[in-house]
Structure formats: structure tokens, C-alpha cells
Amino acid sequence: MARKVAGFGEDDLRALAGARSFERGLGYLDAVSGLEVGDGSVTALVHGTDVYEVELALGEDDGLSGWCDCPYGQEGNFCKHCVAVGLTVLRRAKAIPGQRAAARARAGALEAWLTALSREELLALVREQIAEDRGLRRRLELRAAAARSDLGTVRDRILALVDPRPFARYGYVEYADAARYARQVAEAAGALRALTAGGQAAQAVGLAEEAIRVLGEAYGEIDDSDGVVGEAAGAVAEAHLEACESARPDPERLAEWLVGQVLGEDSGVMDLDPLDYAGVLGPSGLVRLRRLAAGARRRRPSGWAERYLMERLVKAEGDVDALVALYAQDLDPSGATHLRIAEELETAGRGDEALTWAERGLRDCAAETYVDGRLVDYVCARYANAGRSADVVGVRRDRFRIERSLAAYQQLRSAAQAVECWQAERVAALAVLREDTRRERSGWYGGPVLIDALLDDGDVDAAWREATGLADDRQWEQLAGLSRESHPAEALAVYLRLAERLKEPTGDRAYERLAGLLLGARDCHRVLGTQEAFTGYLAGLRAELKRRRKLMSILDRHGL
């Protein structure tokens, strides 16, 4: 369901959908059909790649919200189809209040008519609907079987509902069939809840576990791109929890089942959380759960699921020292685990120990090129709060000397400027980067970090001195952009050289970049007072590339 806003107009549709979806929705106005106005909602069909069903909720106080069964809409977005229906409603705004009033009247009349029917007449009506609607018949048959405790029929029907084979035409459930399968799985979840409500909770527990097993085995062969099967499977898991809360099965046996689900190969569809069952497990079940998790962790210490389960249980127990000891068994070389320990300790009010762990992380990872930046920020923030500004500079300096990145240079500069020692730090930092250029140590985008650092400092003169033979095209373009007024001739030479390289590539991106270079060249000619030379150059370029109509239109748009 999309988020709601107050009011309902074109601006509200644009705010809900975003500019791109709103503009695309304009193209679907003629694709809307079957508009039906209810008391509090509007439904319609929109014909696109497929035929999609749209529902808009017209809340008096909460404003507008929308739902669509297209893939984008099922992710919770207010899609272009919702926009199209919303615009259609706005086009018919004068008629909507009357149609809503008529819908209320129809609903009231229907309720009054049903209330006045005799038992025999209602039965006849239900039988008529059963004959026409196979889905309704199956649902009612299942409810009837549950009501008379016909567990054999209930079991067969529930397992049939979660069986993916009728939908697996080629050995797997395709995307186009996933939604229909998901509806059956959701129907099975409803049957399990009905069984629990009818006093058959213990039987519902066993049937839910069978259904979960089938779903787990099948999920790897389902294209559930929209997550509809996973959502329906979650409803089955919720039905299992409800049944357990009512039936109170053996807690130790339940603990064993839960661990098997969490650590099993087919656990992806359910995402069960054993702690949701804490009230059912009770003390003995939780003890069994912890022992099983610890045993699984010992047998497979590198297993992600085993580690996560153990961490989850220990954290829930509130034993910070046990949690720290668990984390400490597997310290990540990036320092991320040290940071988690520090944050847990700080949350527990043990700030000094937290900082000690964070500092240990910096020491343990001192030689690593990559260290989790959040750990470095954590330590620096605590130093700054304690008035240890010089230590902040020291941390940033150490990280810069290992990373040699522009980001590390910027962080060092910020820290050093705060204590007015940047000039000395800058000399040393630039010396490190110059040494890197001699060793051909490239920056992230190809050019040396030295050039990026000088450009970031705004030291254009130094950047020009260092750039020859070192800078890459990105850096040359950035340098020229900073030098149009101060070094127009040098900047012009850069723009023309880069423009020559873009004569061959095609496509909007290349054309837009070429236009940007030409705009820069024009500015340089303006500063030099040689606008006529630019006019001649541009005329020659346009003549040379005149067959590229898209390029010509882009140049026209930029006034070139």
C-alpha cells in the first residue's frame, strides 16, 4: 500500500508517484477501463504489458492511497497505473460524489436484502455461488471439513493447496504463475487458522509444519520476483505460531523443529524467528534452543545461519559479556566486528570499555587498506567529545597513510584544520602522494590521487604543474573547468583535445559530454577575446558531424 497524503489533486498524484511515474501515467489515460466507484474506493483495469487491477482508496481524512497488482505496484509503489486511474477520476470529479452516494445506497440495500432472506433462500444463494465459483467452493469445502473434524480431508486439501506441481509446467513455477500459486498458499494459511479457531490447534501445528516443509523444498524452483509467494508463506508461518500458542506443543520438540528450520537448506522462504515462539517455548524450550544453537555453532563455526542464530539468542538474553565473547570469536579484518562490540558496550553504559574495543580495532586493522569507516568515525567522535583533537588528527593521518585516497585526505584536512595545523600536515600528505606518483600508484578512477587532492584544495597552479603526463581525462576536464578564468589558453587546449576524442563515440551520453566540453571551450575563447575562432571551429565541427541528427539537436538545445 502506498503512503497516504492529504487531499487529492494532480499535485498529490505527482507527490505520491514521483515525477517519472506521473509522466508515464499520462500515457495510460486511454488504457483505463471498467472504472467502478465505491463508497470509499475506486477500482479499474489498466491495459499495459498485461491487464492490471488498480484500487484507489479515497479517505476523507487520510487522503489518497493506491494499490496495483503490477510488479512495481506490488512493491508498495504508487505506480503509473495508479496515476492513470487517479487522473481519470479527476476528469470525472463532478460525477464522483454522486457515484459514491449511489454506492453507499447500493451497499445498504444489499445488506437489507440479505438480512431479510430466509435460511432456505440464503442457502440457495450460496449454492448458486458455489456452482459458479470453484475457488469459493474449495474454501467452503475446507471449512466444512475443519468444522466436522475431518482431518484427513483437511490435510489432503491443505497439502494440495501448497503443492506447486500443478503450476510447474517446465519443472519450475514461472513468474506468470507465481501469483496464482501464492493465492492458494494464502488459502492454506486461512484454513490452518480456521482449524485452530475450531479447537483443532494441535492438528493445525502438524499440518502447518508439513506445509512449511513443502514450501521450503519448492521455493528454490519458483520465480518469486514480486515476493508474493514469500508473503503467502509468511502467512503459513504465522498460522503455525498461532496454532502453537493455542496448542502448547512439547517445548523441547518445538525447539528442535525451529532450529532445524532456521539452519536447514530450505529455510529461505519462511525467515522464521525462534524468539517469536519464546512464550510457547518457556524456560525449558529456550534452554534447549540455546544448547542446539551452541552445538550447531561448534560444528560449523563459519556458518552464517549458525552465527546469526547464536547471536540472536545471546542478545535476547541481555548478557552483554556473553555477546561480546561471541562476537570476539570471529573478528572481521575490516574492524566491523570491533565496532559492533563497541556499540553494544556503549548501549549498556560501558563507554570506556567501548572505546577500548574500538581502539583495539584500529590497532588490529592498522595494516589493512580497507577499514570500516564507521569504526574510524566512532573513535574520532569520541576523541573529539573528550577534547582530544590532536588524537583525532593522529587517527586520520594513520588512515591516510594506509589508504592514500582522496576521502582519507579530506578527512585529515578537516581534522587538522580544526586544530590549525593543516599547513604542516598538508606538506607531509602531498609528499606521500607525490611518492605514489613516482611509483605509479593510481587513484580510484585512474589518475593519481595527488591531482585529485590539489584540485580538491583549489590549488589550481600546483595542479597544472603536476598534471602533465599524470592526469587522466577526468582530472584534465576538472582542472580545465577550474581554470577558465585564470588559465584560459591552457584550459582551451584541454577542452579541444578531449572534444577531438569524442568525435567517434555515439549516443546521448557522449553527445552531452561533447556539448559540455564545447561550452567550456566557448568560455575560454570569451576570456581570450577570440570568439570568432570558436565560431569557426564550431561551424566546422557541425559540418563534419551533420549526419548525427541527435547530436545536432543536443547542440541546438545548448545554444551551440
Sketch the domain layout of the chain as residue ranges: 10-116, 483-560
C-alpha distances (whole Å) from 224 to each of 67, 68, 266, 357 are 19, 17, 15, 42
> Cell 489432503 maps to which residue?
156
Q: What is the pLDDT of residues 26-81, one digit of tens each?
A: 989 999 999 998 878 899 999 987 889 999 887 666 678 888 888 788 777 889 99
| Structure confidence at residue 445 (pLDDT) | 52
Enter the pTM of the model: 0.62
**Which of 441 and 496 is assigned the larger pLDDT?**
496
C-alpha distances (whole Å) from 463 to each of 334, 389, 409, 424, 426 are 33, 30, 16, 19, 14
Alpha-carbon distance of 13 to 6, in angstroms, equals 11
pLDDT > 90 in the chain, percent: 50
Q: Kindly state the average pLDDT of the residues 490-510.
A: 90
Task: For 35, list phi and psi in degrees, rounded to 5.
Answer: -65, 125
Q: Kindly state the average pLDDT of the residues 414-423.
A: 93
Please choose, from the candidates 291, 261, 284, 264, the residue with its C-alpha nearest in 3D space to the C-alpha of residue 274: 261
pLDDT at 553 over 70: yes
> Cell 440479505 maps to which residue?
114
Q: Kindly state the average pLDDT of the residues 255-283.
A: 85
Helix (H), strand (E) at residue 65: strand 63-68
Alpha-carbon distance of 224 to 177, in angstroms, equals 9
DSSP string for residues in 92-117? TTTTHHHHHHHHHHHHHHHHHHHHHS
SS3 category, 170: coil
What is the pLDDT of the chain when averaged over all its residues? 88
Residue pair 378/359 in contact by the 8 Å Cβ criterion: no
| Structure confidence at residue 493 (pLDDT) | 93
Question: Which range has the worst mean pLDDT, 252-261, 264-273, 300-309, 508-517?
Answer: 264-273
| Structure confidence at residue 2 (pLDDT) | 38
| Structure confidence at residue 469 (pLDDT) | 82
Please report which confidence band the pLDDT of residue 515 belongs to, taking 50, 70 and 90 as the band edges: very high
Residue pair 200/151 in contact by the 8 Å Cβ criterion: yes
Helix (H), strand (E) at residue 58: strand 51-59
Alpha-carbon distance of 48 to 352, in angstroms, equals 61
pLDDT at 324 over 90: yes
pLDDT at 5 over 50: no
Residue pair 426/413 in contact by the 8 Å Cβ criterion: yes
| Structure confidence at residue 3 (pLDDT) | 38
Residue pair 346/354 in contact by the 8 Å Cβ criterion: yes
Q: What is the pLDDT of residues 528-546, one digit of tens each?
A: 999 999 999 999 999 999 8
Alpha-carbon distance of 74 to 326, in angstroms, equals 39
Please count the other Cβ atoms lying within 10 Å of the Cβ belonging to residue 467: 21
Q: What is the pLDDT of residues 241-268, one digit of tens each?
A: 999 999 999 999 999 999 998 888 766 6
Q: End-to-end distance of the chain based on CA atoms, in angstroms?
A: 47
| Structure confidence at residue 119 (pLDDT) | 93
SS3 category, 249: coil
∠ CA(185), CA(191), CA(196), 5° rounding? 130
| Structure confidence at residue 61 (pLDDT) | 62
H helices of 439-507, in order, are 449-457, 460-467, 473-482, 488-501
pLDDT at 441 over 80: no
List CB contacts of 458: < 8 A, sequence separation 6 or more. Answer: 482
Q: What is the pLDDT of residues 184-197, one digit of tens each?
A: 898 899 889 888 98
- The conformation of residue 183, written as its DSSP 8-state character, comes to H
Helix axes 351-364, 336-347, angle to 10 degrees: 170
Please choose, from the candidates 355, 364, 409, the residue with its C-alpha nearest in 3D space to the C-alpha of residue 385: 355
Q: What is the pLDDT of residues 96-112, one digit of tens each?
A: 888 888 888 988 999 99
Q: Kindly state the average pLDDT of the residues 178-189.
A: 88
List CB contacts of 375: < 8 A, sequence separation 6 or more. Answer: 334, 335, 336, 338, 339, 342, 358, 361, 362, 365
Please report which confidence band the pLDDT of residue 376 belongs to, taking 50, 70 and 90 as the band edges: very high
Alpha-carbon distance of 81 to 415, in angstroms, equals 51
| Structure confidence at residue 442 (pLDDT) | 46
| Mode of pairing for the β-strands spanning 51-59 and 41-47 | antiparallel
